[in-house]
Structure 1
Amino acid sequence: MTTRILVLLTALTATLAAQSSRAPQIDSIRQDHLRADLFFLAGDGMQGRLTDTPANAVAADWIRSRFERLGLRPGGHAGTYEHRYQLMTASLGDGNAASFGTADGSARTDLRLLQDFYPHRVSASGEVTGTVVFAGFGIVSPERRHDDYKDAIRGGVALVLDREPGVNDPASPFDGLVTAEAATPLQKVLAAQAKGAVGVIFVEDVHNQAGAPSNFSAQAGNYWPAAPPRVERYTLMKWAEQVRIPVVQVSASIGEALAAGAKRPFVELARTAEAPGGVMPVPLNVSVRLKTSVARHTVPDRSIVATLEGADPQLKSEYVLIGAHYDHEGADGPRLFNGADDDGSGIVGLLEIAEAYALAAQAGRRPRRSIIFAAWNSEERGLLGAWAYTEFPLVPLDQIVANLNMDMIGRNEEVEAGGGGRFRGLEIQTAESNQNASNIIGSVRNPDLRAALDRANQGIGLELKYRYDNNASNLMRRSDHWPFIQRGVPGVWIHTGLHPDYHTTNDRPEKINYVKMEKIARLVYQASWDLAASALRPALRPVLPPPTAQ
């Protein structure tokens, strides 16, 4: 009998330990507060909060004033709430040219700008001549034991394929169906440059194309439009400044001509790039001359960041980061892209969570670890605010133990038949089936964060769906948790899912499920409090093996 009682007591103790103690002031997170804030932030007067617009600046100042009113510490540069960085836009300069011919220079073919080739926006301006070397996908990834350049590219011009090996293979070591960061054009260029290449030529991965090659002239016209686009194309200035060599894209037919020296069809040469561990580079016995002229234009940008200091003398130097993004798609004349769900919902959730922490601190209850509250800018332009923080962190990244990212937490996922490419990879589902559900993306790399969310949810009662970590939608890399995961910070994305109003003028505050949004904000608050209280740090799983397709 005594043994049985001890077993029961042990089981009860374990059960209680697995449950969250209720976070202080959690009831202060209320749907009426969320609704009032969202009707302002996503109202017509905010004009869609597009990057580098007056309305975007007003949104940033409003968030800053709320952080300041709550008594939170500035978490930005020079004692401010602003994390400042520079974006870059690019324009074509004069004199862009390219030609190729025999290695001895006896015959040359000139390429036509925007018909046969065009410079990449991150390309350096300059002129080089070199022998072309086929380098597969142009990827260097030590953690995957993959190197397409070896030591065979120094002094040459790398001809590399778009995308990555096993692009349609859910078991690919390159993050399955998700595009791996090592396979992005920027990382390929930096890898080639580090290996001694004097230039990079990108070409379509022809062996992965089901039909005829893409319409290159249309692609070039979209990349470099004749008229200024409504929404500018940005990158981080720091990234562009790292590129010191010319970078161009060529048509598949030019790729075929460049590869003629390999004495086999280009598509066969391209297939060799699928070799595990990387291709053996192939000199193509052809010389290329590249002259690129790309003007870089600086655009100042900022995210809004606040902190709350923890109470534990040892743990307060570590942080739990809670984030959302405040930018959206702006306005096109009278057409307003309000961005209520994307991501006004995450921002007002962040403000409610910040207020709960502030109220708890006023009542003498502080978390053991410190908290970062981050309102990122320019997520829609490529996660640039979050990426900028990882490039210029104001808290060492190894002191951030977890990142809880809220992006689109206000609707019910809905995927209709024939919904189009925006819903690629997602199964058909109704809004009603997701009335009380939220997706959690990134848990395969972050099982400890999954456990923390499950514990926090015991007192909240949401249906948590752990999915889309390895999905053709590429959702895994489409929000602000992604840059932090790439830099070793455990992170997950809390996301109620895509719907037909996503990135349309119908994403308005009156369509939000405020009852569920209150639950999600409380879930994130509870989970963050628990993570800040725990003596243990969450672990980030390595890249390999790839997660199961879902």
Structure 2
Amino acid sequence: MRLVNRVAVAGLLVAAGLLPPSAARQLPSAAGQAPPAAGASITAADLRREVAHLASDAMGGRLTATPGNEAAAVYIAEQFRRHGLRGAGAGGSFRHAVDLVVAAQDAGNTLQTRAGTEAEAAELSRDFIPAPFSASGSAAGPVVFAGFGITADGLEHDDYRHADLAGKVVLVLDHEPGEFDPQSPFAGIVTSEHGAAIRKALAAQRRGAAAVAIAPDVHNHTRWWTVPDLAGRFWPRSQPRVPRYQLAAWLDRVQIPVVRISASLAERLAGAAGRTLQELGAHAETAGGGTVVELPDVELEVTVRVRHATTPVDNVVGLIEGADPELRDEWIIICAHYDHEGVIGDRIFNGGDDNASGVAGLLEIAEAYGVAAAGGRRPRRSILLAAWNAEEQGLLGAWGYTEEPLAPLEDTVAVINMDMIGRSEEVPAGGGYRFAGLEPQTAESNRNAVNIIGSTYSDDLRAATGAANRSAGLDLRFRYDNNRSNLLRRSDHWPFLFNAVPAIFVHTGLHPDYHTERDHPDTLEYEKMARVVRLVYELSRDLAEGGPRPAFNPPAP
């Protein structure tokens, strides 16, 4: 365990002024010089210097909405400016604003049920809790069961089948059908985005529902969450070290009360209509979605009182404008998240690999494009370099961008995401939950390897990645797209894939120092890292030079 003087760290955060390191190098003058080879400016020494600064104790672990996080944002923007990028944000700034929200309960949250002549007042935090994303308000109406509450047009699944939900309280199950079926059309053996509770609420709201009650999926699970467990997670009695941030753009859409209810309460509602929750769960597994089931003479009345406090944060965005007037409105995005886990007690989680490595790669690519521009070579398509915030809180910076993109998503050619590109994958046997779903493997077996995740959504982008590897000569491992580790959905490429934009996640793998205070700059493999960054640079140049756009073709169900 590494101890540190917290007072000294606080002083450094204030005093860092967040100037570039004194060792920062200047762009070479183009006068009298031949343009260097593509990517030649990307070096292991430069990456080491950038990581050392970004993952220094002065950055305090870069936790979202802390001084260290702001320090990193200031530094990244300054480097973008120095390398000749144009601010892509409002008014030419290097900031793309994203509003996060933290929810708190107010007094007056109630839920009552009526079955025939029998009425029951449910107990808060035992039988039900408001969802943190719920709107405040009251609603009452007859209860209908709508399976998993999912409408997924691309998968030909609809749990509503055009049912009229006006004035009704919709009971749905958590998660999704076939959750542990590798052949599930949703996402194989991991929970897809369609299973997110807020998406279920919005689907019911669009069909006129008065309120939504979400119950545990007792059909696919032998153990499930309890309301007291969720109350401790969603509504802790004391403020946690890391607030449970949500995306304001999503919460703004929710206009109805949404609650989570216990399995026992859901069972009582089903039983009052002569059903069982298991029976309803089996019905919900109907291929293509089951029909809405009326629960005769069962009603629910709910009042939700929550308040939402907004925390503004920023992504950092710089643009290399394309030289071709016919193509410059088409963008390639190269990205990496800059936030990490902050400080816990006397321990600083520096986040050398996660993800100072990816941001350092982003800055080296910015320099490479600056050098190319100084030599008279600009890409035909435009390239956005984006450092996302709040990745560790649920990819919220990247999700925020997809809600309010700087260029239409349909004009985004491809996204290349770098997250943890500085080590060789090492999965210990019996490594615990952090490595769930991954086969044991040694770092030595992966010394030349890099994982390319998300390629099953675009054959063209996979082929382009292989072609761009011509000089880097890395062992490209196209894997983990359908793996219990859920790596496909654990980094910032995922919001783009969800929005049908071809995207890949460049990732050299997890290791025992992942999300620990041991993730220091001195543990990174900088020579390998330079080759990975050159691969990303070459791929982005190939994509930016014109030619057909990569097609988006998600894997068949």
Question: Shorter-chain TM-score: what band?
Answer: over 0.9
Per-residue deviation, 1:145: 1.5
1:184 corresponds to which residue?
196
Q: In the alignment, is residue 127 of structure 1 matched against residue 128 of structure 2? A: no
Q: Give distance in 2, aligned partners of 1:534 and 1:238.
A: 34
Matched-pair contact (CA < 8 Å) for 2:115–2:272 = no
Q: In the alignment, is residue 367 of structure 1 matched against residue 408 of structure 2? A: no
Matches within 5 A, 1:397-476: 397-476=409-488
1:478 corresponds to which residue?
490
Q: In the alignment, is residue 242 of structure 1 matched against residue 256 of structure 2? A: no
Which of these residues, 11, 29, 44, is aligned with residue 31 of structure 1? 44
1:535 corresponds to which residue?
547
Q: What letter corresponds to residue 261 of structure 2 in structure 1?
A: V
Q: In the alignment, is residue 493 of structure 1 matched against residue 505 of structure 2? A: yes
Q: What letter corresponds to residue 141 of structure 1 in structure 2?
A: A
1:44 corresponds to which residue?
57
Q: Give distance in 2, aligned partners of 1:94 and 1:77.
A: 39
Residues 318 and 214 (structure 1), Cα distance of their counterparts in 2 relative to 1, 3 Å cut? closer
1:55-114, CA deviations, whole angstroms, 9 ceiling, x for partnerless residues?
A: 1111100000001111111111121110012111100111111111125xx321111111
1:231-273, CA deviations, whole angstroms, 9 ceiling, x for partnerless residues?
A: 1111111110100001111111111111113423211211111
Matched-pair contact (CA < 8 Å) for 2:173–2:216 = yes
Matches within 5 A, 1:136-535: 136-150=147-161, 151-211=163-223, 213-285=224-296, 286-535=298-547
Q: What letter corresponds to residue 34 of structure 1 in structure 2?
A: L
Per-residue deviation, 1:23: 9.2
1:168-211, CA deviations, whole angstroms, 9 ceiling, x for partnerless residues?
A: 11111102223222221111111000011111111110011124
- Where does the alignment leave 5 or more consecutive residues of structure 2 unmatched? 1-34
SS in 2 for 1:361: helix
Q: What letter corresponds to residue 330 of structure 2 in structure 1?
A: E
Matches within 5 A, 1:12-23: none
Q: Give distance in 2, aligned partners of 1:23 and 1:447.
A: 32
Matched-pair contact (CA < 8 Å) for 2:144–2:292 = yes
Q: Give distance in 2, aligned partners of 1:475 and 1:262.
A: 41
Per-residue deviation, 1:146: 1.2
SS in 2 for 1:209: coil
Q: Give distance in 1, aligned partners of 2:328 and 2:300.
A: 56
Task: Judge which range, 254-263 or 50-59, deviates more.
Answer: 254-263
1:88 corresponds to which residue?
101
Q: Give distance in 2, aligned partners of 1:47 and 1:422.
A: 23
Residues 449 and 272 (structure 1), Cα distance of their counterparts in 2 relative to 1, 3 Å cut? same
Q: Give distance in 1, aligned partners of 2:408 and 2:477.
A: 32
Q: How many residues align?
A: 521
Q: Give distance in 2, aligned partners of 1:72 and 1:216.
A: 50
1:329-352, CA deviations, whole angstroms, 9 ceiling, x for partnerless residues?
A: 111121111111111100000000
- Where does the alignment leave 5 or more consecutive residues of structure 1 unmatched? 1-21
1:447-500, CA deviations, whole angstroms, 9 ceiling, x for partnerless residues?
A: 111111111112111111000101111111111111111222110000111111
Matched-pair contact (CA < 8 Å) for 1:204–1:251 = yes
Q: Give distance in 2, aligned partners of 1:51 and 1:405.
A: 19
Q: TM-score, normalised by structure 2?
A: 0.92
Q: Give distance in 1, aligned partners of 2:312 and 2:248.
A: 10
Matched-pair contact (CA < 8 Å) for 2:327–2:546 = no
Matched-pair contact (CA < 8 Å) for 2:60–2:349 = yes
Q: Give distance in 2, aligned partners of 1:186 and 1:534.
A: 39
Matched-pair contact (CA < 8 Å) for 1:23–1:526 = no
Q: Give distance in 2, aligned partners of 1:359 and 1:179.
A: 44
Matched-pair contact (CA < 8 Å) for 1:273–1:279 = yes
SS in 1 for 2:181: coil
Residues 261 and 317 (structure 1), Cα distance of their counterparts in 2 relative to 1, 3 Å cut? same
Query: Alignment RMSD, CA only?
Result: 1.4
1:16 corresponds to which residue?
none
